[in-house]
Chains A and B, each alone.
Chain A
Amino acid sequence: MDEKKTAWERLQLIHTKGRPTIKDYLPLIFTDFYEMHGDRLYGDDKAILGGIGRLDGKPVTIIAEVKGRDINENKACNFAMPHPEGYRKALRLARQAEKFHRPIICFIDTPGAFCGVAAEERGQGEAIAKNIAEFMTLRTPIISIVLGEGGSGGALALGVCDELAMLENAEYSVLSPRGFASILWKDASREQEASEIMKLTAEDMVDLGVAEAVIEEPLGGAHNDLDKISENIKEYLSQKIAEKCQKDIDVLLKERYTKFRKIGAFSE
């Protein structure tokens, strides 16, 4: 593993051009992938990709936030900032996975849910809330992995799961350090300082009980060896999916609820 980087260094790294996205990982981890489109209510959001494929030969449902690898891809996927129809597509496919007894694998990689007029009009808050609540009781195993950015409610909408893994340099936070600095200190330029106190690294997530695992990245970051990082992700998924599939589903659901139930710090 790399020498430990600071939170700020990791943020730079995940924003480097060439950081692998779900589109890079898909063919290296899954076979027979078929993408499914649309929420059946409004449209098809390109910021969230969903479909069915095989992991180790067994069918799984894959739901992922999509970052672009260049400006054109980024425009097409709205810089990985989903609209409500993206979250509703995710929920539709998740329920389908439950129906056909397929485990669900979510890949989180978003700066956050899109903040815009159309998103508000179509109920961004309701869409995220619904996913969070419904994923809590879906009767099939769910594993989520944060590939790069785990931005706020837009990430959590794919983040209610039996186990969450972070790529070594990925971050998960309530708000971008820039937004955080601007709200708390009215000074967005203090984002580096914010990133260091916000506790948003992979190790922080494990310490705080938010994540269960850290997936090691190749020296210098995931972009330096796509085959290796894909292999690491696949190995983690194969092991976890097999483990969770063996569990009694009611036990699994109780554990899923408890995982979130115990997060919080207070005294009485």
Chain B
Amino acid sequence: MFEGFFDVVKKRARGGAEEEYKPPMFKCPRCTQTSPLSRYEELHRVCPKCNYHGRLSSQERIAITVDKDSFKEFDGGMISANPLDFPDYTEKQAEIRSSTGLNDAVVTGTATIKGSPVVIGVMDSRYMMGSMGSVVGEKITRAFEYATENHLPVVMFTASGGARMQEGIVSLMQMAKTSGAVKLHSEAGGLYIAVMTDPTTGGVTASFASLGDIIIAEPKVLIGFAGRRVIEGTIKQRLPEDFQLAEFMFDKGFVDMIVERRKMRSVLSHLLKLHGFAPKEKEV
């Protein structure tokens, strides 16, 4: 399930002589070219060759998006139960929690972006491919409900392989639950900015990710409803390389703007201010 995760190619010189040392390399899943890993990391995981925006952990994303020390997490201790009594699901989750240090595939909370207050959610594809089960559904729903009650805007970074299979129909229902909360936030006049990151697919695309007042995507990221291989299986032919990339969805009219990672914080800040969410007067 973790295939497609960026492929780090580490080549080490055999002899140990300094001039033979080859630095760790990053192989881009979009353009397949390699670049020094250090350069890729320096750019916050952006391919220097093609501008593909690689996957960030939720902590990294929060760190480069919100004001220092402003993030206050909601529901950090929430973990999934096993609604279908699916074999091994409980054990598997415990393992993934300990290997990723995450409790599920989304982190939510409040923060400020250049002083403007927001409710923020960041999905994390390291946790079962960012799939949406009960915890993702509940945390996102609560985040929108909090934002509605407190007249706050929501910025949601989406990244998901789709439904959490092990939660079956309960997973499907999270689409309705989250979309309902988005709708009520919208009816109350709330601003919702969705930022689609790699990959935004399946049930998340077919629910809250596509419901932003403003939909931003990072360059070259995968955005779609059906999986590429499913479609190729249906039509019995290979799809073009750019199919379902952010630029493709932009051309088709489903994305307002494609924003590079290095500009994201500033674009979000401007959009928030354009909607009246000015930095709060210094408190304390």
Name which residue of chain A comes closest to B77, CB basis: A268
A125 to B230 CA separation, bound complex (whole angstroms): 15
Binds B, one of A46-54, A92-100, A167-175: A167-175
Let me know if B177 is at the binding interface, CB within 8 A. yes
Let me know if B67 is at the binding interface, CB within 8 A. no
Instruction: Assess A174 versus B172: contact at CB under 8 Å? Given A266-B80, A268-B75.
Output: yes
B224 contact set on A, CB distance < 8 A: 120, 125
Question: In the complex, how many angstroms separate the beta carbon of B139 from the nearest chain A beta carbon?
Answer: 9
Let me know if A71 is at the binding interface, CB within 8 A. no
Check A113 against B225 for contact (C-beta < 8 Å).
yes
Question: In the complex, how many angstroms separate the beta carbon of B174 from the nearest chain A beta carbon?
Answer: 7
Instruction: Assess A263 versus B177: contact at CB under 8 Å? Given A126-B254, A129-B208, A153-B172.
Output: yes
Check B187 against A210 for contact (C-beta < 8 Å).
no
Binds A, one of B27-35, B81-89, B271-279: B81-89
B230 contact set on A, CB distance < 8 A: 115
A173 to B181 CA separation, bound complex (whole angstroms): 22
Check B168 against A173 for contact (C-beta < 8 Å).
yes
Check A136 against B168 for contact (C-beta < 8 Å).
no
Let me know if A251 is at the binding interface, CB within 8 A. no
B168 contact set on A, CB distance < 8 A: 173-174, 198-200
Count chain B CB atoms within 10 A of each CB in A117, A120, A152, A183 and give the residue with the most.
A120
Name which residue of chain B comes closest to A152, CB basis: B172
Q: Which of B167, B176, B209, B243 contacts A125 (CB 8 A)?
A: B209
A257 contact set on B, CB distance < 8 A: 180, 184
Let me know if A124 is at the binding interface, CB within 8 A. yes
Question: In the complex, how many angstroms separate the beta carbon of B102 from the nearest chain A beta carbon?
Answer: 14
Check A130 against B165 for contact (C-beta < 8 Å).
no
Let me know if A197 is at the binding interface, CB within 8 A. yes
Q: Which of A117, A134, A180, A268 contacts B239 (CB 8 A)?
A: A117
Check A210 against B225 for contact (C-beta < 8 Å).
no
A183 to B230 CA separation, bound complex (whole angstroms): 11
A117 to B227 CA separation, bound complex (whole angstroms): 11
Interface range for B:
35 or more
Q: Which of B78, B176, B186, B225 contacts A160 (CB 8 A)?
A: B176
Check B180 against A124 for contact (C-beta < 8 Å).
no
Q: Which of B169, B202, B225 contacts A200 (CB 8 A)?
A: B169
Name which residue of chain B comes closest to A161, CB basis: B176
Interface range for A:
35 or more
Q: Which of B83, B170, B209 contacts A129 (CB 8 A)?
A: B209
Mask of A230-267 contacts with B, CB within 8 angstroms, 1/0: 00000000000000000000000000010011011111
A126 to B196 CA separation, bound complex (whole angstroms): 13
Let me know if B50 is at the binding interface, CB within 8 A. no
Instruction: Assess A266 versus B138: contact at CB under 8 Å? Given A153-B175, A175-B163.
Output: yes
A265 to B137 CA separation, bound complex (whole angstroms): 10
Let me know if B110 is at the binding interface, CB within 8 A. no
Question: In the complex, how many angstroms separate the beta carbon of A130 from the nearest chain B beta carbon?
Answer: 7
Question: In the complex, how many angstroms separate the beta carbon of A200 from the nearest chain B beta carbon?
Answer: 7
Check B141 against A119 for contact (C-beta < 8 Å).
no
Mask of A89-133 contacts with B, CB within 8 angstroms, 1/0: 000000000000000000000000101110111111110111011
Check B244 against A261 for contact (C-beta < 8 Å).
no
Check A264 against B169 for contact (C-beta < 8 Å).
no
Check A265 against B169 for contact (C-beta < 8 Å).
no
Let me know if A208 is at the binding interface, CB within 8 A. yes
Check A263 against B183 for contact (C-beta < 8 Å).
no
A113 contact set on B, CB distance < 8 A: 206, 225-226
Count chain A CB atoms within 10 A of each CB in B77, B165, B173 and give the residue with the most.
B173
Question: In the complex, how many angstroms separate the beta carbon of A85 from the nearest chain B beta carbon?
Answer: 14
Let me know if B203 is at the binding interface, CB within 8 A. yes
B209 contact set on A, CB distance < 8 A: 125, 129
Let me know if B182 is at the binding interface, CB within 8 A. yes
Check B205 against A199 for contact (C-beta < 8 Å).
no
Check A115 against B234 for contact (C-beta < 8 Å).
yes
Count chain B CB atoms within 10 A of each CB in A128, A129, A136 and give the residue with the most.
A129
Let me know if B70 is at the binding interface, CB within 8 A. no
Report, nearest first, the 10 A-B pairs whose CB atoms are least far apart: A125-B205, A115-B226, A264-B134, A265-B81, A265-B83, A125-B225, A129-B210, A128-B206, A124-B225, A136-B180
- 22 A-B pairs with CB atoms under 8 Å apart are A116-B235, A120-B231, A120-B244, A122-B252, A124-B206, A126-B205, A129-B179, A129-B210, A132-B176, A133-B183, A152-B163, A153-B172, A153-B175, A156-B175, A175-B163, A204-B169, A260-B177, A261-B180, A265-B167, A265-B170, A267-B79, A268-B77
A interface residue numbers (CB < 8 A to B) = 113, 115-117, 119-126, 128-130, 132-134, 136-137, 152-153, 156, 159-160, 172-175, 180, 183-184, 197-200, 204-205, 208, 210, 257, 260-261, 263-268
Beyond A116-B235, A153-B207, A199-B168, 8 additional pairs, beta carbon < 8 A = A115-B225, A115-B231, A124-B225, A132-B176, A133-B207, A136-B183, A210-B169, A266-B134
